[in-house]
């Protein structure tokens, strides 16, 4: 069985967050959604659980951070092409997010941009040309 990842994010306005994540290509799984949480599916292995603050607080050992003021994590999401990176950022902007809170990075073999969701969580869609990546070498010590 492939490993799955469930990213759990606190949100202030669950319907608004669901609308945003649908705008960037996720689909809502009603089996794991209710009025306190929504399971947003990106693929067979990537899920984003949107949790109201009271629901999230029930799982979190520390207070909920204000993601508009602090950065607790950056969520990188691979895309199939540079154009797909640009399209995802455009969808995020159209869905109510903030595009490019930091400048795009173009390293030739890798291209990335960023966006914030309505709750300030930063996503970094990226494309990488794996054929152009140097193979790893063993450190001879």
pLDDT tens readout for residues 21-37: 999 999 999 999 999 99
The structure tokens listed for 25 are: 């290509």
Report the alpha-carbon distance of residue 105 to residue 72 in Å, rounded: 21
Q: Report the DSSP beta bridge partners of residue 109.
A: none
- Calculate mean pLDDT across residues 41-48: 97
The count of residues in the chain is 141
Question: pTM for this one?
Answer: 0.88
User: In the chain, what are the domain boundaries?
Assistant: 1-61, 71-141
Report the alpha-carbon distance of residue 52 to residue 103 in Å, rounded: 30
Q: CB–CB of 107/131 below 8 Å?
A: no
- Tell me which H or E stretch contains 7: strand 5-11
pLDDT tens sequence across 47-79 = 999 999 999 999 999 999 999 999 889 999 999
Q: Please tell me the CATH superfamily of domain 1-61, with its number.
A: 2,3-Dihydroxybiphenyl 1,2-Dioxygenase, domain 1 (3.10.180.10)
Q: Please tell me the CATH superfamily of domain 71-141, with its number.
A: 2,3-Dihydroxybiphenyl 1,2-Dioxygenase, domain 1 (3.10.180.10)
Report the percent of the chain where pLDDT is more than 70: 96
Q: Spell out where 23-119 has E strands.
A: 27-29, 37-41, 46-52, 74-78, 98-99, 105-106, 110-112, 115-116
Residue position matching structure tokens 């050992």: 61
Q: What mean pLDDT value characterizes the chain?
A: 93
On the question of a common fold for 1-61 and 71-141, the answer reads yes
Helix 82-94 × helix 14-23 angle, to 10°: 150
Phi first, then psi: give them for residue 65, nearest 5 degrees.
-75, 150
């Amino acid at each position: 069985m492939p490993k799955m990842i469930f990213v759990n994010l606190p949100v202030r306005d669950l319907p608004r967050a669901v609308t945003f994540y649908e705008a960037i290509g996720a689909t809502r799984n009603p089996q794991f959604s209710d009025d306190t949480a929504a399971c947003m599916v990106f693929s067979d292995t990537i899920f984003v659980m949107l949790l109201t603050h009271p629901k999230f607080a029930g799982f979190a050992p520390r207070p909920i951070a204000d993601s508009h003021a602090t950065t607790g994590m950056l969520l990188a999401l691979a895309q199939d092409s540079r154009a797909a990176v640009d399209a995802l950022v455009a969808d995020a902007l159209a869905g109510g997010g903030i595009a490019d809170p930091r400048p795009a990075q173009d390293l030739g073999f890798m291209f990335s941009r960023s966006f914030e969701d309505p709750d300030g969580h930063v996503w970094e869609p990226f494309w990488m040309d794996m054929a152009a990546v140097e193979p790893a070498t063993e450190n001879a010590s």
